[in-house]
Chain A
Amino acid sequence: MDDQTIDRILKKHNLYQCLECGKCSASCPRMLTGKEYSPRLLAQKLIEERDDEAFIESSVWECLTCGLCSERCPSAIQFTNFILEMRTILAAEKGMKGCRAHDGAIHSWIRMMTSPDIKQNRLEWLTPELKTTSSGPVAYFVGCAAYFDVFFAGIEVDTLSIARDSIRLLNFLDIEPALLENERCCGHDLLWTGDRENFETLCRQNYEEFKKAGISEIVVSCPECYQVLGHYMPEVVPEFDIKVTLLLTKLETEIKKGGIGFKPQPDKVTYQDPCRLGRMAGVYDTPRNLIEQVPELSLKEMESYGRSALCCGNSAFINCDHYSKLVQVERLKQARATKARTLLTACPKCMIHLTCAMRDPFRKGPLALEIKDIVSVLADSIEWTG
């Protein structure tokens, strides 16, 4: 990386405003689990000691991009955006791709989806009671659930249930969503591992598919897809004119209109804020309001929640190491400490990562608790009252 590029990025992301207070390091989940990781030191090295490429590169790739440091930064430096740009440049210049978890299988199949000629069979899980169409004004973006269902069969995590329950909720609202047979991955994991070229290809291909099916609104349940379709896709496709709605937000709006109630669900739950939904999209209250609507469902917050929520230990399927596991263990301990029976989350990735940690044979007993997506709970209890 040449000096000019670094200067430009530092300026763009306000890194010269760093006060060296170290709040970022003190709040970083990596640091809290004992790894020597410091966003502040990365800023300092980039300003004063650019020769230390080994340090700079490893710091850029080891970030969890959870955004907790930006939340605490008195200079409001958006560290995650900075990391994203650094990764994109390092990937383009040096072919770096981070240390991929699962040997890069997930990134492989996402990259394969950029092929223009594929004809996927990604909707075989649909059952007759789920009413869907193949084109129409409102679409539901399924995401990678069908793939995860096969790949993570070993840890028994049911990400397809999120898609099924989302469609049940939309059907309840009298919406028959269009599901696209040839929808591609949103490309989140390629974007965050620096593969900008393939990410942009996916964006354009998805936009074409949406247009072909005559879609004007896309409902998404996954926070990563929500962030990519709502924020990054319009950057890549300037003519992007499709409304992107989060399923939870849609539900909240519909419920406010009246006539919708919930059957009692006697349970104690706690809620994991996904980083892409909370700190990146600013959606903290919607899931909580929805949980509150369900009678006899009591929400107990964990020690760190909302803006301070702890990461699920991994993002974009890179850097899954011992420290990731420690973050997950810490998060599950917090969840158990609430005495909740069920851990609710809104992101399939949180579900996968936390389920994986629960299956640690040495810690299974004290950490395990039921984990569900919030849409599943809502789909099970929603009813008309009007």
Chain B
Amino acid sequence: MEKVKILGICCNWTPFACFNAAGMAHLQMPPNFRLVRVMCIGRINQALILRAFEHGADGVILLQCRDEDCRYGPGPEVGHVNVDRVRRILSIMGIGQKRLVEKSFAAHEKSELVDALWEFSEEIEKLGPNPAKPRQEMEAS
């Protein structure tokens, strides 16, 4: 299996609580997974998702609260719009829409979060490395 890199962009509130609880419960996480913690998925725009791919991510997963649970209001809705647009750009570029997903969680869903990460990791491993890596990133990895 090829070594792939997966980036999780995680909301500080519900999903991070799940992530934390999963860590406390010693649940096994995918080894090729890195996490960036943000205050809200509403902070993430199209550019930041694209930049993850530009800098060599093979898959990006947005971990967010459920629409009704957002601490700030419209966070997850902003996430939906951005994911939708970036997926279309990824499709035009030939990277493929499957490399970007968003998942919502409630506060008790630690094992669901870990399952989602494993599922995504296996999916990306099946797809292999992202074909649109600038040469500089390929040399670095």
Interface residues of A (CB under 8 A from B): 102-105, 108-109, 111-122, 124, 146-147, 150-151, 153, 198, 201
Contacts and interface: CB of A to CB of B under 8 A. Distances in A.
Contact of B47 (A104, A124, A147): A104
B62 to A, nearest CB: 16
Interface in B34-70: 45-48, 50-51, 53-54
- For the complex of A and B, list the 4 residue pairs with the smallest distance between their C-beta atoms, beginning with the closest: A103-B47, A105-B47, A108-B54, A108-B50
Contacts, number: 78
A104 B51 contact: yes
B93 A118 contact: yes
A109 B93 contact: yes
Contact of B132 (A104, A118, A147): A118
B135 A121 contact: no
Nearest to A102: B47
23 contacts: A103-B51, A104-B47, A104-B51, A105-B51, A109-B50, A112-B53, A112-B95, A112-B132, A113-B93, A113-B132, A115-B132, A115-B133, A115-B134, A115-B138, A118-B94, A118-B131, A120-B94, A121-B94, A146-B92, A147-B89, A151-B85, A151-B89, A198-B134
Contacts of A120: 92-94
B28 interface: no
A104 B131 CA distance: 20
B32 interface: no
B91 interface: yes
Interface in B96-141: 131-135, 138
B46 to A, nearest CB: 5
B88 interface: yes
Contacts of A104: 47, 51
A212 to B, nearest CB: 17
Contacts of A113: 93, 132
Nearest to B51: A108
A120 B95 CA distance: 8
Contacts of B93: 109, 112-113, 118, 120-122, 147
A153 B92 CA distance: 15
Given A104-B51, A108-B54, A151-B46, 7 more contacts: A103-B46, A112-B133, A115-B132, A119-B131, A122-B92, A124-B92, A147-B89
Contacts of A116: 135
Contacts of B53: 108, 112
Contacts of A111: 54, 134
Contacts of B89: 109, 147, 150-151
Nearest to A103: B47
A137 B124 CA distance: 40
A157 to B, nearest CB: 14
B56 to A, nearest CB: 10
